[in-house]
Amino acid sequence: MRQSKIPFFIVGLILTLIITGYAQGSSGHGRYTPDELIIKLLPGYSIDSINVKYGTFTKGHQIATDVYLLRVPAGKDVEALAAEISTEPGVEYCTPNFYMSAPEGLQRSSPFLDQQVKGDIESQPAATTLLLSAAQEYTDGTDVTVAVIDGGVDVGHPWLVAQPGPIISCWDYIDNDSLAYDEPGGSCTGHGTFVAGIIRLTAPNAQIRVYRVLDTAGVGDGFTISSAVLQAVADSCDVINLSLGMSGVHDGLDDALKLARQLGVLVVASAGNDSTDLASIFPFPASREYCIAVAATDSTDLKADFSNYGLKVDLCAPGTWIYAPYPDSMYAWWDGTSFSAPFVSGLAALAKSLGDTLSMLTIDTLMRVAATNIDLLNPTYTGLLGSGLINPVALMNLISPVIRGDWTANGVIDLSDLSSMIAFLTAGGNGPAPVGRGDLNCDAIVDLSDLSRLVAHLSGVEAPICPNP
């Protein structure tokens, strides 16, 4: 693995930028865009009548949800105008175009570049806690597409390039071009690359499609984010990762997420880093029942001290001391629920790849069933951590139970399994080895003793095979 050494003064510069961006309150952003409204009309009503009466101008229209983006006349108070238009007959809703953000930028969670502490992506604590390598013996995410709607991705990062799955830059809604790159110079630089790296760690061969909707401070408006969600749905993405949020609700994005769910797309969202269960603070869209809200745990399966919790949490995943790619061929450690969510998105991709006929709603249910309850480890948060910590191996086994000796996974032990095991061992043990299926004596390796047991079993000779996982 290539590791880049970073001069200490660069680390200091990055930290300075982070602190400066935070002090400005999301780089000077207010709660919503200063001259825009979003509006949705009831059937049979025309946006033209609204524009004529209030002097607004149509800037955008999301046909799939029939939501409009309007420009507000100069000098008009956005909130007052939204309230006034909302009283018009035929208006379902009219609100400011609220901003959303990645929680790490606002709460000063920052990446720790690995100059002092080198890591290994595949063997980091989160990967070993989740037994990702064992889960990947079942499948690697092939034929599943995950959307990363975030701050862009360094798609040329050496580690990402070295992985088997493709990463496609779809659209940069900030710069209005097709290069959805993770730009330097802000408190959330690296956020999208980090998220993509975790998805790739979990589902190595899933396709990742990148949509940049957050600036380098980690801020983007809800209409833009909903445009990306609708585009991801149109691009046939199976899973959408949203490591971002806001207090309250953005109605336009809410409609886009409802539509995604109706069309069978699984939406995964970070639960937020406020260490609270207050409904008024718990972020949207994780607060919605059609999104999977993911809280963070530490390396001992305790709730991370910063993570939100409560009845709206659905699942937990590691979110502390996560090691992943960072822009410009670098690597970093980072904490946050933003980095718990992509473990769940990647797991959903594994599940869909293995059970390709399963609906995403069924996969949602199975992820909860397979999760490990961690209430006993977290007595203060009993019943407030959803179904518990995701359990990739248990989920894979729910979808496709392992039969030891059934190397080809066709449901029976036959000569095709013998042929596959011989081919594997003849090649010196190179290539994919389904240890759970090929390990007949439960010593965690596939060798000649397993071959001997398989031959005896097929010959009708009693040969003990250890229990199925």
Q: Which two tokens stand for residue 405?
A: 């000796």
- Residue 219, helix vs strand vs coil: strand
Half-sphere exposure (CA, 13 Å, Cβ side) for 261?
Answer: 16
Q: Which position among 191, 254, 255, 340 bears the catalytic label?
A: 191
Q: Return the DSSP state at 94.
A: E
CA proximity to 395, closest of 430, 343, 433, 439 = 343
Phi, psi of 60 (to 5 degrees): -160, 155
CA–CA separation, 104 and 106 (whole Å): 6
Cα-trace Rg, the chain:
24
* Residues 389/374, Cβ–Cβ less than 8 Å: yes
Q: Helices H, strands E: what count in the chain?
A: 16, 15
Is 191 assigned a catalytic role? yes
Q: Which position among 150, 274, 298, 335 bears the catalytic label?
A: 150
* Residues 279/253, Cβ–Cβ less than 8 Å: no
User: Which conformational region is residue 131 in: left (phi greater than 0), alpha (psi within -120 to 50 degrees), or beta?
Assistant: left
Q: Which position among 110, 338, 387, 420 bears the catalytic label?
A: 338
Is 150 assigned a catalytic role? yes
CA proximity to 111, closest of 321, 337, 402, 348 = 321
Is 338 assigned a catalytic role? yes
CA proximity to 429, closest of 420, 418, 440 = 420
Catalytic residues: 150, 191, 338
